[in-house]
Amino acid sequence: MVAGWSPDSQYILFWPVPLFSSSLLADGTSLMAIPASGGQPVKLVESMLAHDGFLAWSPDGKLLAVTVGEGRETWSHKRIAVVEPTSGTLTYLTDDKTAAFSPAWSPDEQRIAYVAAPDISFVGGGEEAKAGTAQRRIWVINRDGSAQRQLTHDAAYRDERPLWSADGSHILFARLDQKGRASLWLMRSDGSELNQVVDELSPAPGSWSGYYGYISWDGYFAWWPGALQRP
């Protein structure tokens, strides 16, 4: 399965499907990179889920932020890491006590926004999983793993899919309330000046659970973040 091109068009990323099995793929597969000119593929990530929003290139195209971890449950064993494609060096940014995913680079390449909640282990679903995913908040961290900071705090919502404005001053993100209604919110990149910009998405995700806690938000909204002004 093609995961995309590198920004410099030199590599193609792909996910191999284990034994041609969609069930095995649902629990994770490796992320590979192969030169567009041909050659041997290089393994960048041992195991990750093949979901939209689980990998993101840095604006300069030199680093890849990924959601690492096996198991189809997004509420468990998921960590944010940064990988350097040419060397294959992978560095974890979040610890194993949180389930973190959906990394998004700031335009200046210095910070990564992401979603995180306490890791509740491999529960199958039900009320325990619902309570765990309800704790998801938007966080931001420096590219070297320092200055980790929680930006959203409202217990009435579950927060997901952060996206940066072109100038890095704001972050747009999706929210689910306790009744499963989805809305879009905008805040400054330090978490201040929080404003609801779309009252309710319609159609909305069918349920809080999505696919083991994963909702493909890119199928519900698209945001043009504005033009990046350069001197």
Q: Which pLDDT tens digit goes with each residue over 3-43?
A: 999 998 999 999 999 888 999 999 999 999 999 999 999 99
pLDDT for 124 equals 81
Which residues face 198 on adjacent strands? Answer: 184
Across 26-35, 129-138, 167-176, 200-209, least confident range:
200-209
Mean pLDDT, residues 120-142 taken together: 94
229 has pLDDT over 60: no
Which residues face 118 on adjacent strands? Answer: 98
230 has pLDDT over 50: no
Is there a contact between 101 and 114 (Cβ–Cβ < 8 Å)? Answer: yes
From the CB of residue 209, how many other CB atoms can be counted at a distance below 10 Å?
18
185 has pLDDT over 90: yes
DSSP 145-186: S-S-EE----TTEEEEEEEE-TTSSEEEEEEEETT--EEEEE
Q: Which run of H or of E encompasses 131?
A: helix 126-133
| Burial class of residue 183, CB neighbours in 10 A (0-12, 13-18, 19+) | middle
**4-20: b (≥16 Cβ within 10 Å) or e:** eebeeeebbbbbeeeee
